[in-house]
Chain A
Amino acid sequence: MCGISGILNLRREAPPVDPDSVLRMLAILMHRGPDQSGVYLDDRIGLGHNRLSIIDLSAGIQPISNEDDSLWIIYNGEVFNYLELRDELIERGHGFKTSTDTEVILHLYEESGADCLGRLNGQFAFAIWDSRKRELFLARDRVGIRPLFYTVHDNRLLFASEIKSLFVVDGVPREIDPIALDQVFTFWTTLGGRTAFKGIYELPPGHFLRVSKGKTSVRRYWDIPFCAKAEQYDLSENDVRERLAELILDSVRIRLRADVPVGAYVSGGLDSSGITALVKNNFNNRLRTFGIEFEDRAFDESEYQQHIVSFLKTEHTAIRATNDQIGASFPDVVWHCEKPLLRTSPVPLFLLSGEVRNSGFKVILTGEGADEVFGGYNIFRESKVRRFWARQPDSRWRPLLIGKLYPYIFKDKRLKGMVQSFFAAGLEDVGEPLYSHLLRWQNTSKTKGFFSEDLKSSVGGYSGYDEVRSSLPERFSSWDDLAKAQYLEMTIFMSNYLLSSQGDRVAMAHSIEIRLPFLDFRIIEFMARVPSIMKIPVLLEKHILKKVFKDILPERIINRPKMPYRAPIVRSLFNERNGKTPEMLSERRIRETGLFDPARVGRLVSKMQSVRNAGEVDNMAVAGIVSCQIMHEQFIEDFPLRPAKPLSPALIIDRRERTLSASLRGKR
């Protein structure tokens, strides 16, 4: 979709930014914008942009300025309601040089500053430099579909779409943050602005950063508007269904706005099938779709995928993800995700985006976000069952409802008598704000048993649970149970892991822009106020979404059992063709990074090589340890400080007066 980068001098007297640094920052982000590059320089700042051309292919190169060249924007993303906003702005007298959505944001900002963010319906990360006021404004979309990182080093603020771009600037320290590891090995991701690296920060979703008069401030402009039951909509289910159907259709409609063809991902699940049906039926009869087939049958959904493809008659391409390929591409995926991964799920999506690129597409619609917004995940129903069971803890049959949620875990009938015990921990602690997720997080935390003594003592007494509790919105405790669970899932899992490692990063790795209709902010805001009984009545997940799609999808897709998207871990990381895993897990390498306990990792490796089916925690530990080791090698030890190929931008705007006059003086 595009890559942005910049260096801002925080002190007025500092020498102008060296253009070479900006060019290096861009070179390492080429995968995000292979079509054109542009640079802006003045005495305080250097801005860089790599473009993936999607709207206004011929004239939309960035950075772009306003009418009098006082404001400059570099931008990664799309604002889908840009046409409507543009009409309004033209009516109010603004002059446009291009037909891009980028320019629309710039003029809106010109008018209303940070308030412009509330008008933008889209996915974005951008920087606007006010060259007159010497003010920098950075912003990120509401849920974090597009990334933005920053650091302060040597009295300069550096920012970029990916962390690797910050690291190419000379002197920026590269060190793994032990607290970040504690967080990833608990929550699958870092929390609240932290990254895997010390001193490197992520601008959180729904926030903006402003540097003005030497001061830097970060402010929130949006949060998911869950509310207490009494404030939820008083609408009939039919009214909700109708309104929702309108919103989803419109969300899809505006996300098809592009000067290049748009395709769709189809997994065989309800969400992507629904979007694809809407496009095929209303907007594009010759829709190209793409999906994944797994060699490993346990993970494959292709039967359902084929069913929806033949039902809708789309032109479909399925890639076959073999265990070998997944294992072989894992290191590349770590490089793109820039954090440890407790799953290999991002890898098939990385392979898929490669196929999309080879097919000549740049833009894809996907179904991400529906499970969070509409209540599709099993964790929501699990929480409901456990609370129900907690009211009569000694009941023999209440806990059996959980077995219904996880048929694939309990398909061995021998385990029926033990179900209770797996889910009993903390059962009656229903007042705990983190109730819905604590069991999962505590389970994941077992992977921390592999941390080295050094790492454990660096983490010390830090508690991720305390951090989450203290960051919850003031009115959290007034919300109903489902809203609380959704909030945790959306802000932690979705925004910080799913949209990044399984979304933006693996698509951008092959210069593919994904668009997520279910995360249109109007839909998120609407669903936040819909009564929970319409989201999950009894144990029927995504009830209202199924009602919306009932008439356009086959019954088999609507009613198929929920299957979480996963990829094989042990079978892909431990196979003969994968030499990377044994190398990364060797005692020598484990001792070198010092992050994990060599003896315990050794036992884990033996177990993985002999066991038939590895357990959940073992799988996460393997993926987490291997990816951490790879990350250490790629970012700390062997980081490529200089690009393989130097970058030649198509556009250079150089307004550095001091340099110009210095060189003029030199010439006399």
Chain B
Amino acid sequence: MNYIEPVREFVVENFLFGDSGRLSEDTSFLKSGVLDSTGVLELIGYLEEAFGITVEDDEVIPENLDSLRNVSNFVESKLNGK
């Protein structure tokens, strides 16, 4: 299942303050500056609350969190019990 849309909505609302134009599915949050260090923590908090998952310390890496697509794949794999 695709989790891109709810995450996009969260990111646009909380970090882009409504400006959705700049965010594609593969835009790197960190390279483009959408998220800073506090933002990453906020994102983790949102994912844990919205999807009932636990993000382990060693899962906090760009491959899991640094774009809409990466986040969606990460959430999917957590929910599928991998």
| Residues of A participating in the B interface, judged by any CB pair closer than 8 Å | 409-410, 412-418, 420-422, 424-425, 442-443, 446, 449-450, 599-601, 603-604, 607, 611, 613-618
Complex: A453 Cα to B17 Cα, angstroms: 15
- A414-B55, A446-B33 known; 15 new pairs, CB 8 Å cut-off, are A409-B37, A412-B37, A413-B57, A415-B37, A417-B60, A417-B61, A418-B65, A421-B31, A422-B30, A443-B33, A449-B19, A599-B18, A600-B18, A603-B14, A615-B37
Tell me whether B19 and A415 are in contact (CB under 8 A).
no
Q: Who on chain A is nearest to B13 by CB?
A: A603
Complex: A425 Cα to B32 Cα, angstroms: 8
Count of chain B residues with a beta carbon within 8 Å of a chain A beta carbon: 26
Q: Who on chain B is nearest to A411 by CB?
A: B37
B13 contacts which chain A residues (CB < 8 A)? 603
B17 contacts which chain A residues (CB < 8 A)? 449-450, 599-601, 603-604
Tell me whether B41 and A422 are in contact (CB under 8 A).
no
Tell me whether B31 and A449 are in contact (CB under 8 A).
no
Tell me whether B44 and A414 are in contact (CB under 8 A).
yes
B40 contacts which chain A residues (CB < 8 A)? 415, 418
Complex: A152 Cα to B48 Cα, angstroms: 60
Q: Who on chain B is nearest to A417 by CB?
A: B61
Q: Who on chain A is nearest to B14 by CB?
A: A607
Min CB gap A415→B, angstroms: 6
Query: Is B2 in contact with chain A by the CB < 8 A criterion?
Result: no
Complex: A599 Cα to B17 Cα, angstroms: 8
Complex: A424 Cα to B16 Cα, angstroms: 21
B62 contacts which chain A residues (CB < 8 A)? 417-418, 420-421
Which of A409, A414, A424, A607 is the most central at the interface, judged by chain B CB atoms within 10 Å of its CB? Answer: A414
The 4 A-B pairs at the shortest CB distance, nearest first, are namely A615-B38, A421-B30, A600-B17, A417-B61
Query: Is B58 in contact with chain A by the CB < 8 A criterion?
Result: yes
A442 contacts which chain B residues (CB < 8 A)? 33
Tell me whether B30 and A614 are in contact (CB under 8 A).
no
Tell me whether B39 and A414 are in contact (CB under 8 A).
no
Complex: A600 Cα to B19 Cα, angstroms: 8
Partner of A603, one of B18, B44, B57: B18
Query: Is B36 in contact with chain A by the CB < 8 A criterion?
Result: yes
B57 contacts which chain A residues (CB < 8 A)? 413-414
Q: Who on chain B is nearest to A420 by CB?
A: B62
Which of A409, A417, A613, A618 is the most central at the interface, judged by chain B CB atoms within 10 Å of its CB? Answer: A417
Tell me whether A415 and B41 are in contact (CB under 8 A).
yes
Interchain Cβ contacts under 8 Å between A and B, 27 examples: A414-B41, A414-B44, A414-B57, A417-B61, A417-B62, A418-B37, A418-B60, A418-B62, A421-B30, A421-B66, A422-B36, A424-B30, A425-B31, A449-B17, A449-B19, A599-B17, A599-B18, A600-B17, A600-B19, A603-B17, A603-B18, A604-B17, A607-B14, A611-B42, A613-B38, A615-B39, A617-B36
Complex: A418 Cα to B38 Cα, angstroms: 12
Q: Who on chain A is nearest to B61 by CB?
A: A417
Min CB gap A457→B, angstroms: 16
Q: Who on chain A is nearest to B55 by CB?
A: A414
Min CB gap B57→A, angstroms: 5
Complex: A449 Cα to B40 Cα, angstroms: 19
Min CB gap B71→A, angstroms: 13
Partner of A417, one of B14, B31, B58: B58
For window 25-56 of chain B, which residues contact chain A by CB distance below 8 Å? 28, 30-31, 33, 36-42, 44, 55
